[in-house]
Amino acid sequence: MTVKSNHVTIKGIKDGLVFLLDDKCDFGTLLEELRYKLEHSHQNILTGPIIHVDVKLGTRIVNDDQKEMILDILSRKGNLLVRSIEMPELMPAVDPLKTLTTLTGIVRSGQVLHHEGNLLFLGDVNPGGTVACTGDIYILGALRGMAHAGLKGNVEAVIAASFLAPTQLRIAEVISRPPDEWENRETSMEFAFLRDGKMQIDKIGNLFRIRPDFNVFKGV
């Protein structure tokens, strides 16, 4: 059998592969082409060490059974590890934690990690490194570089880190205080936010005051 359609596009990125799945074609046709490309036309890049895969469905919304069908086909290649499946939300998420994308690693000097949405980053951001997001930034590690949350003007975005010692913080268009003012701070996890257009810093335990949905004790 030969599949000549182009409903599945596989692109290489720095840390893995992105599978772009056509959101207009029949779902069965999509699965057929995905299966064919993994078994025949792309074997040269789908062998060897573990490869992280991000699946993007465009505007297509799939149910749990359909998602399992996609995962089942991808899992047949032992070196493919699905990291995320992106599709539109059926409705706005009630729990803001559900909208977090989790990434792991180290952002070194000269590197820029750009993300659309809210990011939970497990690792350190070294001096000279930058994390930039349209939403919130939560770093379980040391932030010694630059962090820019609310890239597209979201003044309600926050930046949090286990160890907050940045060269610069930026939320929307507001820039933090000079770097020398970060010296000799406590090592407890803190977060930055805007209040009346000015950058403020507080302990992470007080995040619920500006994000009530993060308060696990509300209503108790």
pLDDT in 10s for each residue of the chain, 220 residues: 444 468 999 888 888 889 999 988 999 999 999 988 888 766 666 666 778 889 999 888 888 889 899 988 888 776 788 888 887 754 444 454 457 889 999 999 999 999 999 999 999 999 999 999 999 999 999 999 999 999 989 999 999 999 998 999 999 999 986 555 555 556 678 999 999 889 999 988 888 888 766 654 544 4
Q: Where are the domains of the chain?
A: 8-86, 96-214
CATH topology classification for 8-86? Double Stranded RNA Binding Domain (3.30.160)
What pLDDT, on the 0 to 100 scale, is given for residue 138?
95
Domains 8-86 and 96-214 share a fold: no
pTM: 0.55
The dihedral through the CA atoms of 68, 69, 71, 75 has a sign that is positive
Q: Given this model, what pLDDT does residue 16 score?
A: 86
What Cα–Cα distance (Å) separates residue 111 from each residue in 72, 151, 163?
34, 17, 19
Taking Cα atoms as reference points, which of 173, 176, 166, 172 lies closest to residue 199?
176
H helix or E strand, kind and range, residue 122: strand 118-125
Cα torsion angle, 123, 51, 114, 155, sign: negative
What DSSP string runs through 168-210?
A: EEEETTEE---GGGGTT---S-EEEEEETTEEEEEEGGGGGGT
Distance between CA atoms of residues 75 and 24, nearest Å:
24
Whether domain 96-214 has CATH 2.160.20.70: yes
Nearest Cα to 154, choosing from 99, 85, 84, 215?
A: 99
pLDDT tens-digit series, residues 108-123: 999 999 999 999 999 9
**How far is the C-alpha of 27 from the C-alpha of 46, rounded, in Å?**
23
Q: What is the pLDDT of residue 89?
A: 56
Environment class of 192 (CB within 10 Å of its CB; exposed 0-12, middle 13-18, buried 19+) = buried
Quote the pLDDT of residue 61.
83
Q: How far apart are CA 159 and CA 84, in angstroms?
A: 23
Q: Which two tokens stand for residue 116?
A: 């659309």
| Residue 14 neighbours by CB under 8 Å, 6+ apart | none
- Quick one: pLDDT at residue 106? 93
